[in-house]
Chain A
Amino acid sequence: MMELIGIPPQALFGQLMLGLINGSFYAMLSLGLAVIFGLLNVINFAHGAQYMLGAFVAWMLLNWLGIPYWGALVIAPILVAATGLVIERVFLRRLHDLDHLYGLLLTFGLALIFEGVMRSQFGAAGMPYGNPLPGGVNLGFMYLPWYRGWIIVASLAICLATWFVIERTKLGAYLRAATERPEIVQSFGIDVPRMITLTYAFGVGLAALAGVLAAPAYQVSPNMGSNLIIVVFAVVVIGGMGSIMGAIVTGFGLGVIEGLTKVFYPEASNTVIFVIMALVLMVRPAGLFGAAK
């Protein structure tokens, strides 16, 4: 087959797809971070650890209880979201009136605890999780493994559904309004404290869901989240905290840019996102889609 700009199409499309897959995880995680930050004013540093917990819970469900992937896809996010419920009620609520920094420190501490516990129980090496969708299809210009296709489709669906609920429904209108002026929304008779708890749990559940999706694609390991979350924070800075669609577009877009960099200039592939972050911070400190607060 023809070569494009001196690159074999298999390699180009292969990297493009890996980029889209990474972008799927960037998008799902930055979406949750943005929703949590919007309503709680908390930079949820535990987000990566909660993604990791999602993968571990899926692994435990499979190996200890025999619950397969498709069951874990539903159960694991609910279980991890329940821990989010407790974290918000017990800890974050008390920090609500304080500076951002306290929430960040608390969730950073929680992340260290979650990772430490998992490392001591399961070791640092990482454990495999069987692929629930083996095989694939040859598209002519590239080979598409089913599971990779599923990750992209599932995360797109999750992101768009979240966007729809937030931007187009009554529930989402409460959320957007409470992000701006929580006390006014509460004075309308809406139980804003409960909404805050549920929103945190939702964001955490979203991270866990991404973790379950990631389990068959990567190793299930205690540091899988901390490796990813640094890049996700850069994605959030680039996209800006203000916009849901912004988080989705930036997540997928940066995944693709990173993938293409691997093809054309592999030396820069680990740093390209941080270079973009630095440039964006200079030109638009509030991020590409963020409104200056």
Chain B
Amino acid sequence: MPETLLKVSDLHGWYGESHILHGMNFEVRKGELVTLLGRNGAGKTTTLKAIMGLLRQRKGSVAFDGTETISMAPHKIARLGVALCPEERGIFSALTVRENLHLPPVLREGGMTEAEIDTLFPRLKERWGNSGAKLSGGEQQMLAIARILRTGATLVLLDEPTEGLAPVIVQQIRDALLELKRRGLTVLLVEQNFRFASTVADRHYVVEHGQVVDHMTSDEIAANTERLEAFLGV
């Protein structure tokens, strides 16, 4: 079995006075694609922010490749090889598509080349000189994924990449995710759509009220559909 890349233990997180994460426990092994499933407000985004260091009030343990990151600043965590693709995509409207793509510095070897990114997302190349604000939702998502693939990150945190996208675009995102996996990247994916998730992921953690309440592999999803629907409120 591959070794653990990310180990989250008893992770607590707060926004001001409100206690949001109540002791999250899960792990992701090298090369795995693991999802966090859970309904709106369960704390999935907050978990990703805590791993990235963007949630300032956090306690417990987040070990990345053996390094404890719980009290590290986000830019230090990024330099270890963690990258976040935020829920709102975070495309900069003051920058062109090209500038957006080249903004994150290459932090380590093994990142994708521009040619590889062009092959993965051919639509982006056509919009090279446009302002980031002029992209469609799907294009923004592709750009958000593409720009962190250049950096050589080994753990990619993806927050609901398919949210609000048309089925054709969801297909393309799915292909991109499978390509990431084929290249050996480790992915922690937040999803509400477990049917989509089961087609790309190895394992799933179900999150409720800031805690992991269940765990299953993709093969087990089919047998647990009703239970999942109840959990996710869909």
Contacts and interface: CB of A to CB of B under 8 A. Distances in A.
Interface in B69-94: 73-75, 77-79, 83-84, 86, 90, 92-94
Nearest to A175: B94
Interface stretch (A115-123, A188-196, A205-213, A265-273): A188-196
Given A180-B92, A188-B104, A193-B73, 10 more contacts: A176-B95, A177-B103, A180-B93, A184-B84, A187-B77, A187-B78, A188-B105, A188-B151, A189-B104, A190-B105
Interface in A166-181: 170, 173-174, 176-177, 179-181
Contact of B92 (A170, A181, A187): A181
Is the interface on chain B under 10, 10 to 19, 20 to 34, or 35 or more residues? 20 to 34
Contacts of A183: 54, 74
Interface of B: 52-54, 73-75, 77-79, 83-84, 86, 90, 92-95, 99, 102-105, 107, 148, 151
A189 B79 CA distance: 5
A177 B95 contact: yes
B51 to A, nearest CB: 10
Given A173-B99, A176-B95, A191-B75, A184 B105 contact: no
A187 B74 contact: yes
19 contacts: A173-B95, A176-B95, A177-B95, A179-B94, A180-B93, A181-B90, A183-B54, A186-B73, A186-B74, A187-B54, A187-B74, A187-B77, A187-B83, A188-B148, A189-B75, A189-B78, A189-B79, A189-B104, A190-B105
Chain A interface size, as a band, is 10 to 19
Nearest to B106: A189
Q: Is the interface of B mostly helix, strand, loop or mixed?
A: loop
Contacts of B74: 183, 186-187
Contacts of A186: 54, 73-75, 78
Contacts of B78: 186-189
B94 A180 contact: yes
A201 B54 CA distance: 25
A187 B78 CA distance: 6
B107 A189 contact: yes
Contacts of A176: 92, 94-95
Nearest to B52: A187
Contacts of B73: 186, 191, 193
A198 to B, nearest CB: 14
